[in-house]
Structures are given as structure tokens and as C-alpha cells.
Amino acid sequence: MSIWTSSAIFGAIALALAGCSSLGIAAATGPRAQTVTTGGMAVTLAAPDGFCIDRRASRPRANPPVVLFVPCGAEAPRRPAVLTATASAAVAGQSVAGSGAALQNFLRSEAGRAALSRDGRAQSVAVIDSVIRDGALIVHLRDRSPPPAPGLSPTYRRAFLNVGDALVSIAVLGVDADPMGNAQSRALLAAGIAAIRAANAAPVLAEAG
């Protein structure tokens, strides 16, 4: 039986999600990458062009560290969005890509939905779909609990990926007043994954099977 079906990896997922529920949002004009430390490891959390770190809301020294990216500059997306990224220690010898089915099943379970929820309540979250793509687990979900900032859409996408010995999670949240379409949300999340991998020179891990 894969260790991804044990409480160890699910604890890593829960830790990666902890701390993402109370971010405020402010204007930003700074850099688009921040190196954080988790479990004694240095990991760089980065965003694609058009996004900058919101230093007032980010918590790079928290456990787990959380970095918030907001639109900035001429390359900001036409429809506004924010990105959150966090990291925690991964389970040794295990990868998201290699245990995708177990992770997908976990995130649909009561414990998994509680981990995804901002208020810790499983009933607040509905998992719309999930897929393993290019070595990352991508989850499309709806969270009915209060958003981290007014006006953010309850429906968003989140990805989990391995970066060295760390488990990184990145989420793309649109706004209700000018919502993103599915294509833009998927493309922005893919760009965020690529930015994190490029910042850490992380390879794409092959899927199991």
C-alpha cells in the first residue's frame, strides 16, 4: 500500500494548506519571487509575469510559509486574479505524480475537503474535478466559507507539486465582479506552476503506471 494512503502524506497536504485562510490583499509593485524555508529546506515561491508579492499580506516566515501575489505592471491579466503559494515538507521518497489516484481520493474525502476548506469544515467544499497533469495534481473546487478577502470567487483552482523535498501548493483565485473563464484559470495556474519550477529548476516527475 502506498504511503500516500497513510496519515503522513495527508498531514503534509493539510500543512501545505494551513495558513491560506486569512490573507488580506493590498497593492504591490515588488518582486515576483520569494525564497522561504520549510522543514529546513529553502524553496522559492514564484509567480508568472504580471504578478508581484503583496508583502503586507504574505507570511514568508510562518509555518507553513505563505506568499500572496497580486496583479501588477503592464503584464497584469486583463481579468484580475490573485495567486497564493505555500510549501511544506514532502513525505520522503513519494511524489504527487506517483500517487495521484490516492491523493485525488483523499481530497474528495471528508478529511480532504476539510483540509481544502478555509474554515476547516468539509461541508464547505465541493470538489468539481481533479487531474494529474505534467506531474502536478490540479484541483478545481468551490469553497463556500468566507474568502480571504472580500469579492474573491468561491470557485478556484489549486495545484500540488513536488519541488525537491518540499510539497508546494499554488492557487489561482478570481474575483466575482469580473470572473475568469476556465481557460484563463487553467492557463494562469499552469504559468504559476512553470514559474515555481523555473525558480527552483525543478524537473517534471513522471506519473505512476
CATH number at residue 42: 3.40.1000.10
Q: Is this model's pTM higher than 0.85 or not?
A: no
Q: What is the DSSP string of 11-35?
A: HHHHHHHTT-SS-------S-SEEE
Give strand pairing partners of 120: none
Is residue 177 within 8 A of residue 152, CB to CB? The reply is no
* Separation between Cα atoms, residue 175 and residue 109, nearest integer Å: 27
For residue 151, being part of any structural domain is answered with: yes
Residues 6 or more apart from 133 whose CB is under 8 A from it? none
Number of domains in the chain: 1
User: What confidence tens digit (pLDDT) does each residue in 29-87 have?
Assistant: 566 777 887 777 888 999 998 888 888 878 888 888 888 888 887 666 677 788 889 88
Local mean pLDDT, 10-residue blocks, the chain (209 residues): 30 40 48 77 89 84 84 73 86 74 89 88 95 93 85 90 89 86 94 94 53
pLDDT of residue 7: 35
Q: What totals of helices (H) and strands (E) does the chain contain, helices first?
A: 4, 9
For residue 54, being part of any structural domain is answered with: yes
For residue 124, being part of any structural domain is answered with: yes
pLDDT of residue 144: 92
Residue 29, domain extent: 3-200
pLDDT of residue 98: 78
Element (H, E) at 85: strand 81-89
For residue 209, being part of any structural domain is answered with: no
For residue 64, cis peptide bond before it (omega within 30 degrees of 0): yes
For residue 127, being part of any structural domain is answered with: yes
pLDDT of residue 198: 92
For residue 206, being part of any structural domain is answered with: no
* Residue 71 phi, psi dihedral angles, 5° rounding: -60, 145
* Separation between Cα atoms, residue 102 and residue 99, nearest integer Å: 6
pLDDT of residue 119: 87
pLDDT of residue 31: 67
* Separation between Cα atoms, residue 32 and residue 45, nearest integer Å: 8
For residue 36, being part of any structural domain is answered with: yes
For residue 72, being part of any structural domain is answered with: yes
